[in-house]
Amino acid sequence: MNLAAAVDVTDLGVDVATEARRYAGRKVFRLLERMSIPPFVVAHRLVRAVEGNIVPDLALVVVSGWEPGVPDDLGRHADDTESRMHLIAKMQELITPTRWLSGLPNNALCQIAITTGSLGPNMHLVGGGAAVAEALGLASDMLHRGSVPAALVVAFDSEEPRVRGPNEVDSSAAGIVIVSDGAGAALNIPAVGAVRDLRAVDALSLVIGDACRSEQ
């Protein structure tokens, strides 16, 4: 397997939001919170590196250790029935459908698919380096069996550990396009044990760095 293209964490500039606006219409951009913007931009840069006619069929796998929590701005309430009813009303006022949807872990993957027209096999994996190793294994399997012409694997993580809200902090993101043959550095899938303790984005960044070094 070869890396046809890669975008590492350090390749993203400062103003990724402006770049994201270019790829997303208004309907999509309003669903892109700070957490989803970097992986969205990484994916779009990578899609532009492949032949346009294979985009609908490529596999899309996104990996992240980030999972949403309950927003802090709900506050804390006593547990009598009246207070609970007030809390429910406040939840529904604050957490609009748009806010709830944009906070789903698979939001970035879905907006990538919607804006690129990628219809192929797709999964959002939750986890760190071990999940990245599994993602690369899955992608390679599909390529090896000829199920897809290429596979896009993107990883992103919150800049601060255990942050739950999708709009509280930025994320870091990296991504690669894998093909079964052609030009590009050879892909080395790391052993699960070697990357288990890494964040997903750091594990994928390691894979990119390893490929670049082997190509030199």
Partner 1 sequence: MVTGLGAVTPCGIGVAPTWDAIVNGRSPIDRLKRFAVPSGSTLPAGVVPGFERELPPSSLALRFAEVALDEAFADAGLANDDCIDLVVVGHHGERRAPIHGMPTVVSTASDLCENVRHRARATRGLAIFGACAAGGLAIGAGVEAIKSSRADVVVCLGVDAMLNDFDYFQFAHLYAMSTRDCEPSEASCPFDVRRDGFVLSEGAACVVLEAADAAARRNARPRAALHGVGISQSAYDMIASPPDALGPARAMAVAVADARLNPDDIGYVNAHGTSTRDNDWCETLAIRRVFGNAADRLLVSSTKSVTGHLMAAAGTLELVITVRALEQCVAPPTINYVEPDPHCDLYYVPNEARQHPLRYAMSNSFGFGGHNTSLVVGRLTK
Interface residues toward partner 1, by CB under 8 A: 31, 60, 65, 67-70, 74-79, 81, 84-85, 87-89, 91-92, 95-97, 100-101, 104-107, 109-110, 113-114, 116-128, 130-131, 134, 137-138, 140-142, 144-145, 164, 192
Q: How far is the CB of 83 from partner 1 (least distance, A)?
A: 8
Report the distance separating Cα 77 and Cα 49, nearest Å: 51
Strand-pair partners of 158 = 171
Residue type, 68: P
| 12 or 124: CB nearest partner 1 | 124
| 29 or 68: CB nearest partner 1 | 68
| 12 or 116: CB nearest partner 1 | 116
Report the distance separating Cα 210 and Cα 190, nearest Å: 10
Q: How far is the CB of 80 from partner 1 (least distance, A)?
A: 10
| 85 or 186: CB nearest partner 1 | 85
Helix axes 107-116, 37-47, angle to 10 degrees: 30
Closest CA to 201 of 134, 155, 132, 152: 155
Q: How many CB atoms lie within 10 A of CB 120?
A: 19
**Phi-psi region at 100: left, alpha or beta (left = phi > 0; alpha = psi -120 to 50):** alpha
The residue length of the chain stands at 216
Tokens representing 30?
């309003």
| 48 or 84: CB nearest partner 1 | 84
**Measuring CA to CA, how many Å separate 108 from each of 6, 112, 123, 154, 190?**
18, 6, 11, 10, 25
Q: How far is the CB of 128 from partner 1 (least distance, A)?
A: 8
| 11 or 90: CB nearest partner 1 | 90
Q: How far is the CB of 26 from partner 1 (least distance, A)?
A: 14
